């Protein structure tokens, strides 16, 4: 496997589509997260970034731009047919949020917990088409499924329009302020890191975020008619914000050794930049590494105060290493700690899914020795809070 810190993308990636060697293919014709944007949000995003689109990605931008009127029209149709029902949808059962740093195992945990049919969750289609999935998923989702690659670009997790997805993508598509806009413009400075806690987000940004999350969660509730199980790493620092919006919300945090997280995040950002970007980065040097550190620091700012303020039954911590070794036991622990009913009923489906993973091969990346001192210093709180030490470093 190539060095995850290799400084430059492949010539093929520079030429306009194929990802760096070592990543799973993300063809030029595949859907992007921007595919579901409405006209006003898409062109506002381009305008805010000065229309700085690399020549190799102009074609992609033109295709996506032509999709926006259709999204606006389907949104209008959904509002006409279901607008009042979505507005009146009551989120009666507080959502359960899976949180944790990117690459800590949030997706794996999400896939395990959705075996319980008491939960509804955001699918990939619903996150790609958050404005109109109620009216369009039954027919358009099946058609567009062929425009997704079979695996995610950064790892070997399967994709599919019906698979669970992190709702931050849906919020981004809806125009809520999110750091995920950097996927589209990876040459530009990082933006909206303050939304990783929402503590200092005010004015129009806060209004747009609240409007987006309210609409999306009500639409999901109307669609599924179940308690929502939501997964999104950016929610990790939003415990206080989400608890205020959804009183009684429950949170399960998953951690992983920082020496595994750091190289995996480098790989993930690179894969997403090349798959989703209107720009193509020419190098991945010190600024790129600093971005990984800054995202971690922003996400876990004031985490102790937020998590420790939750009542018993609202918060649970698990470790990826334990989940990988004993998935059924850890899931049982989550149900017991969060006081969730239904484990015995879902256990057979959970066991069947776990058995299906026996041939799954995760990526194995190693943190370069030169990066460990900086990780030890800047991630010291994470090591202490979640019980890790450099001596516990994974072997690869």
Tell me the pLDDT tens digit for each residue of 34-49.
Answer: 999 999 999 999 999 9
Are the C-beta atoms of residues 4 and 266 closer than 8 Å to each other? yes
Nearest CA to 320 out of 258, 278, 235, 368 is that of 258
Three-state SS for 226? coil
Are the C-beta atoms of residues 148 and 105 closer than 8 Å to each other? no
The pair of structure tokens assigned to 350 is: 């959970």
Average model confidence (pLDDT) across the chain: 89
Are the C-beta atoms of residues 267 and 154 closer than 8 Å to each other? yes
Per DSSP, the residues of 247-277 read: TT-EEEEEE--HHHHHHHHHHHHHHHHHHH-
Express each pLDDT in 48-94 by its tens digit: 999 999 999 999 999 999 999 999 999 999 999 999 999 999 999 99
Asked if residue 159 has pLDDT above 80, the reply is no
Q: Determine the average pLDDT of the residues in 140-166.
A: 74
pLDDT at 287: 87
Nearest CA to 170 out of 243, 234, 119 is that of 234
For the chain, domain boundaries? 14-392
pLDDT above 90 coverage of the chain, percent: 76
pLDDT at 24: 62
The CATH H-level superfamily of 14-392 is P-loop containing nucleotide triphosphate hydrolases (3.40.50.300)
Asked if residue 251 has pLDDT above 70, the reply is yes
pLDDT at 14: 35
Q: What does the longest C-alpha to C-alpha distance in the chain come to?
A: 59
pTM metric for this prediction: 0.90
**Rounded Cα distance, 177 and 186, in Å:** 16
Q: Sign of torsion, CA 94 96 101 107?
A: negative
Confidence of residue 294 (pLDDT cuts 50, 70, 90): very high
Confidence of residue 225 (pLDDT cuts 50, 70, 90): very high
pLDDT at 112: 97
Nearest CA to 366 out of 258, 285, 254 is that of 258
**Residue 222 burial by CB count (10 A; 0-12/13-18/19+): exposed, middle or buried?**
middle
Per DSSP, the residues of 208-225 read: HHHHHHHHHHHHHHHHH-
């Amino acid at each position: 496997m190539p060095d995850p810190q290799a400084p430059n993308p492949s010539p093929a990636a520079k030429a306009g589509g194929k990802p760096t060697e070592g990543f799973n293919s993300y063809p030029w014709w595949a859907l992007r997260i921007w595919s579901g944007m409405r006209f006003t949000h898409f062109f506002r995003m381009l305008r805010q970034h000065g229309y700085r689109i690399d020549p190799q990605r102009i074609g992609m931008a033109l295709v996506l731009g032509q999709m926006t009127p259709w999204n606006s029209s389907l949104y209008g149709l959904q509002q006409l047919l279901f607008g009042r029902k979505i507005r009146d949808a009551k989120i009666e059962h507080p959502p359960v949020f899976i949180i944790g740093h990117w690459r800590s195992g949030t997706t794996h945990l999400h896939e395990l917990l959705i075996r319980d049919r008491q939960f509804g969750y955001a699918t990939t289609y619903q996150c790609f088409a958050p404005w109109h999935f109620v009216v369009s998923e039954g027919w358009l989702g099946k058609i567009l499924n062929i425009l997704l690659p079979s695996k995610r670009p950064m790892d070997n997790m399967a994709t599919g329009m019906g698979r669970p997805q992190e709702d931050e993508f849906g919020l981004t598509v809806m125009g809520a302020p999110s750091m995920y806009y950097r996927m589209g413009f990876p040459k530009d400075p990082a933006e909206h890191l303050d939304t990783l806690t929402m503590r200092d987000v005010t004015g129009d940004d806060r209004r747009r975020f609240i409007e987006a999350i309210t609409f999306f969660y009500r639409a999901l509730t109307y669609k599924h008619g179940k308690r929502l199980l939501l997964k999104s790493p950016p929610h990790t620092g939003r415990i206080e914000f989400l608890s205020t919006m959804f009183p009684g919300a429950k949170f399960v945090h998953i951690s992983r050794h920082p020496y595994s997280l750091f190289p995996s995040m480098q790989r993930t950002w690179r894969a997403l930049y090349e798959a989703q970007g209107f720009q193509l980065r020419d190098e991945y040097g010190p600024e790129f590494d600093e971005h990984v550190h800054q995202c971690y620091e922003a996400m876990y700012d004031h985490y102790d105060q937020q998590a420790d303020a939750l009542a018993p039954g609202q918060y649970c911590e698990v470790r990826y290493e334990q989940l990988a070794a004993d998935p059924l036991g850890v899931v049982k622990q989550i149900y017991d700690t969060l006081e969730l009913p239904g484990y015995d009923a879902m256990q057979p489906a959970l066991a069947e899914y776990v058995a299906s993973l026996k041939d799954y091969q995760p990526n194995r990346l190693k943190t370069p020795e030169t990066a460990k001192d900086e990780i030890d210093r800047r991630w010291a709180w994470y090591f202490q809070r979640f019980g890790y030490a450099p001596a516990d470093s994974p072997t690869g």
